[in-house]
Each structure stands twice: as C-alpha cells, then as structure tokens.
Amino acid sequence: MSTDTRWLDQAVDAALHGPAVDPNPRVGCLVVAADGTVVGRGHHQGAGSPHAEAVALAAAGDRARGATAYVTLEPCNHHGRTGPCTHALRDAGVERVVFAVPDPTPQAAGGADWLRDHGIAVEQHPHRDAEALVADWTVAARLGRPVVVWKAATTLDGRVAAADGSSRWITSAEARADAHLLRARVGAVVVGTGTALRDDPSLTARTAEGELLPDQPLRVVVGRRDLPADARLRTGPGELLHLRTSEPRQVLAELARRGVHRVLLEGGPTLAAAFWRAGCVDEVLVYLAPALLGAGPAGVGDLGIASIEDVARLDLVDVTRVGPDLRLTLVPQAPPRERGARSTPSVGHARPAPPTTTDQRTLAPSPTP
C-alpha cells in the first residue's frame, strides 16, 4: 500500500463522521507534515458548516506550512456559504494536495487547476472508498436529478397485497428492519396518494424494536388527493412534503432543489410504473418473500410493454438472504433515455452498498463498483 493511499484511508475515516444524508457530500481531510506527522484532521459536518479542509487547517495552524493535504474530494474553488478551500490551502502554506475524486459540479470544479496555477503540487489518487462516499452526490450531479431506487416487497408471484387489499406483512420482520435501514440512508422516501390513503404509512426509519433511527428521510407524497387530518404521515418526525403532481420529473426537480441526492420510491404500483416510463428508475430493490397469493395487485403497473420483444431486462447485481426472504438488487440494462428520458445517462453501479442486518447470507457477490 502506498503512503498516499494510507493517508487517504484516514481521510475517508474522517469523512465517515459527517452526516450520511445531507445536501453536501461527506468529505474528509488530513494535513500531514513533511516528517509524516498528522497535524490536522477534519470532516464536513453538514450544509453551512466549514468544509473539511478548513477544519483540518484550523487544527494544524502554522504546522500546515510545507505540509501535504489529503482530501477525499477535489477542493472547491467557489464562494458559497463558505470561502473557497483552494484559497484556504494556499494561504495556509500547504505545498502539496492529494485528492481522490474530482468535483463534478460546474460551480465548484477546477480547484486542482487553480492550485497548480498558484504553485501548489496537486495529484489525483483514485480511491474506491472515497468514491463510494460521494457516489450518490456525483451521480446526481451528472444526472441533474436524484438517484432513484425503486423498492418493492412481493410474493414469489409478484403480488404486493392480497385480493382483499391486505398487505401486512408480506415479508418478514428481518426484511422490514433491513428496509428501515435503507430509509435512513436516503434523502427522501416517495409514495403516491393511493398508497398513503390505503396503507396509512408513517414512512419513518426505525430499529427492529420500533425506535426511531437518528437519520430520518424527507417523507414525500405525490398526487392531487388530500390526506386525512389524522394521517400518520402528518404526525411523524421530520418534514412531510405533499407534491400535487404525478409527473416524475417535476417531483425529482423539486427534490433536487432541496438538496436530495438519493430517493427511495416505495409505492405504489402506479407511481413505480410512471417513474419507469419516464426513465427515472436507476436501481430496483426487491424483497422477495417465499409465499404465494395467486391474486391481488401486482408489484408494478402498466410499463407500456406490449410485446415480449420489448421486455424490460435488468442485471442482477446482488442477492442477499434476509431472514427467510431474499433481497435482490438490480439495475436496468437499458440506459434511462431508452426508457423515456431525453438526456439521462445510465447510472450503472455507482452507489453505496445495500443496508445490512445481522441475519443475512450473501448468495452471490456484488460486482466491483
């Protein structure tokens, strides 16, 4: 392992102390003196707070002069809520900067070039863990909208409820706990008014014991129908956003404006089909129960597919056992623009790993991101 990789490992460890869900990416910085002593360490603590470089430089003080800064993300070169990190690095006397991931945003990119132009040695050193930290943020920046994960819980015959409409519970307690961990790792959970009215969900992220997890997603209802005054969605923690539209791109544009990078699409079948037809599904996560219903609503509505020649194919990238159920992680084979989007490229596998619980056996390994 190279020395640069070892220091970037520590920068990634610092970044992990930042909030998992935030409009800004998680970033870590390590300032290392010429003799190999770590003189400063910092991480970004959330939107509006000092960037990781500023925190590390403040800790280093005068010892930053002549040092090397290791940063998980290319230092920003713009004036936002805080000043440019490039200027702070120069003013502190840092002689060398090593970063892992280029900044993909037009307003903040170019930091590496600016530093070089001002006499500072700069190197990009790719680092898989650093890339995974900001995967959603970088992909969302490229897409111009949040990454969308469509989550469903079905029987073997693809039913999400029985013929009488009852659906609690198709999957096991272990699978439900796993899904709650997933909610805690996204910026927003989205359902249609049909699901909200039929199931009266809370859309909170909870432990297996029912305790609220520290990170709660924005809860989003899509559709024009009103919610009852006593709906559970109105009483849960965090913000409830009711978007009175059924157009997926309008929904995602509003969520992007709010700084959301990853969306969990939970239901129902009509809403899922609308997002698919619009080319706005980047990943599919299915909890598959070893059960049969034989009748009842299917997991997805009309996808506009009339012939087997037009069947929607997906790549299976992970199979994990969760209690008695299976969690399948898939990505569409066709790029989103071939499924209705005008200019959206495929996300591929640029995303963090699915949530994990203590009762799982991996049946097939995930591919390398």
**What's the pLDDT score for residue 335?**
56
Higher pLDDT, 343 or 58: 58
Question: Mean pLDDT throughout 7-29?
Answer: 90
Distance CA 264, CA 243 (A): 16
Contacts of 147 (CB under 8 A, 6+ apart): 136, 139, 140, 261, 262, 263, 282, 283, 347, 351
CA 164 to chain centre: 35
Judged against a pLDDT cut of 90, whether residue 312 lies above it is answered with no
Q: Which of 53, 74, 174, 283 is catalytic?
A: 53
Please tell me the distance from the alpha carbon of residue 353 to that of residue 369, in angstroms, as a whole number: 9
CA 348, CA 266: separation in Å to the nearest integer?
21
Q: Is 247 a catalytic residue?
A: no
Q: Which residue has the higher pLDDT, 44 or 143?
A: 44
What per-residue confidence (pLDDT) applies to 267? 76
The upper half-sphere exposure of residue 5, i.e. CA atoms within 13 Å in the direction of its Cβ, equals 6
Mean pLDDT confidence for 28-50: 93
Average pLDDT over residues 322-327: 94
Distance, CA of 267 to CA of 219 (rounded, Å) = 12
Q: State mean pLDDT over 226-233.
A: 90
> Across all residues in the chain, what is the average pLDDT?
85
Least confident piece of the model among 85-94, 103-112, 318-327: 103-112
Query: What local confidence, expressed as pLDDT, does residue 102 receive?
Result: 92
pLDDT of residue 358: 33
Specify which of 77-81, 127-131, 205-209 reaches the highest per-range mean pLDDT.
127-131
Confidence bin at 166 (pLDDT 50/70/90): confident
Closest of 88, 73, 80, 69 to residue 31, by C-alpha: 69
Q: What is the pLDDT of residue 343?
A: 32
Q: What is the reported pTM?
A: 0.77
H or E stretch covering 38: strand 38-43
Q: Which two tokens stand for residue 361?
A: 């056996």
Instruction: Report residue 1's pLDDT band, with 50, 70 and 90 as the boundaries.
Output: low
pLDDT digits (tens, 9 = 90+) for 282-294: 999 999 999 998 8
Dump pLDDT digits (tens) for 245-278. 989 999 999 999 998 999 999 978 888 999 999 9
Q: Name the most confidently modeled range: 6-15, 42-51, 353-362.
A: 6-15
Summarize the confidence of residues 30-44 as an average pLDDT: 95
Query: Residue 199's pLDDT is what?
Result: 83
The confidence band for 129, taking pLDDT boundaries of 50, 70 and 90, is very high
pLDDT tier at 24, thresholds 50, 70, 90: confident
Average pLDDT in the 221-239 region?
88
Percent of the chain with pLDDT over 90: 53
Note the helical H segments in 120-169. Answer: 128-133, 135-143
> What's the pLDDT at 336?
52
In angstroms, the CA 369 to CA 367 distance is 6
Whether 297 shows a pLDDT value over 90: the answer reads no
Dihedral, 45, 218, 323, 359 alpha carbons, nearest 10: 10
Q: What is the mean pLDDT of residues 178-186?
A: 89
Taking residues 128-152, what's their average pLDDT?
A: 89
